Amino acid sequence: MRKAKILTTGMYVPDCVVTNDLLAQAMDTSDEWITQRTGIKERRMVPDTYHMLQQLAHAPDKEAYLKALYETGMQGKIDAEMSTADLALRATQVALTQANMTAQDLDLIIQTSVVPDYVFPGVACVLADKLGLTSTPTFSLNQGCAGFIYALSLADQYIKTGTYETILVVGAELLSSIFLYSNRGRDMSVLFADGAGAAIVVPASPEEPSGMMSHHLHTDGTLLGKLYAELFGTTTFPPMVKKKIDDDRSRPRMEGRAVFAQAVRRFREVVRECLEANKVSIDEVDHFLFHQANVRILESVSESLNIPAAKVPVNIHKYGNTSAASVPILLHETLQEGRIKRGDLCLLAAFGTGFNWGASLLRW
């Protein structure tokens, strides 16, 4: 059976930089508070959210501004400047350019995100439209922050079985549009941001050592109430009613301590599972590419597993938590910095809503 490998990667983050200081002007928080608890100094957001935050920061009555914003829309504006698929497109274009390919070379698209462009069809279909593809099959996944690991495992199976030759895997998130930028929503709104990361997966040559080695996926649905969002979901009927908004049920919810504890636990478990399955030690792994959710989670996992800090690249201080885009963005940046060399052993791992978590081991 043949092996699959990542041929090239790509990433995109919006130009708009939202600093902790800007958020502190919009709600009761501070750069020190956010940095100490998360490691985030700034994050990227689409222009719509960025301009809204600037106006909110200077609004004399912030509650009145937010009420008008969510009831009537931002100055009557309806159409967003960028969508989730737009972010995915930018990252895809980078990966295709590096591979010297066009969209027509793709046999399959597997895309993952939390917030779609539409209720239906999925973001992958919208991305296919933007790429000008008329018959290429697509998948749209919603596995939260673990989405890229799940998508990568699917691509691996299709390559192994010989079903497809060239697969695009892309995690894209436009999360800034769903949070409440006020004291009620600050526990989550300071964490999440926008961005996209992509990878092109192809068969590895039989003689080359590079390729994906294994994937380890898990879900615990019994804890879904610790991190979730109803939004337009069918937890009410009709799905979108004024009462749901008035009752504050449209805002994403998270029990931070429970998520932190589960993340540390599940990261440790799945990393050990992945290493044991491949009979590999911590010392033999060159790079641990972990989902960038919180620097304290990364430090806790690294310390408990005795992973040297030099092996755990971090970029959460620049981009915040970009959910399914986090791991591919980190992978692309680490490659561009020249830190990953041919033959290096890389372990990718992520944990998020669901709860879903997983790890992948690959030889670069």
Residues annotated catalytic, as ranges: 145, 291, 321
Which residue has 């100490």 as its token pair? 36
Torsion of the alpha carbons at 294, 300, 302 and 303, rounded to the nearest 10:
150
Residue at 207: amino acid letter = E
How far apart CA 29 and CA 186 sit, in angstroms, is 8
How far apart CA 351 and CA 113 sit, in angstroms, is 14
Contact 131, 164 (CB under 8 A): no
Which residue has 């620097």 as its token pair? 295
Residue at 147: amino acid letter = G
How far apart CA 46 and CA 230 sit, in angstroms, is 22
Q: Is the peptide bond before 121 cis (omega within 30 degrees of 0)?
A: yes
Which residue has 């589960």 as its token pair? 262
Contact 211, 363 (CB under 8 A): yes
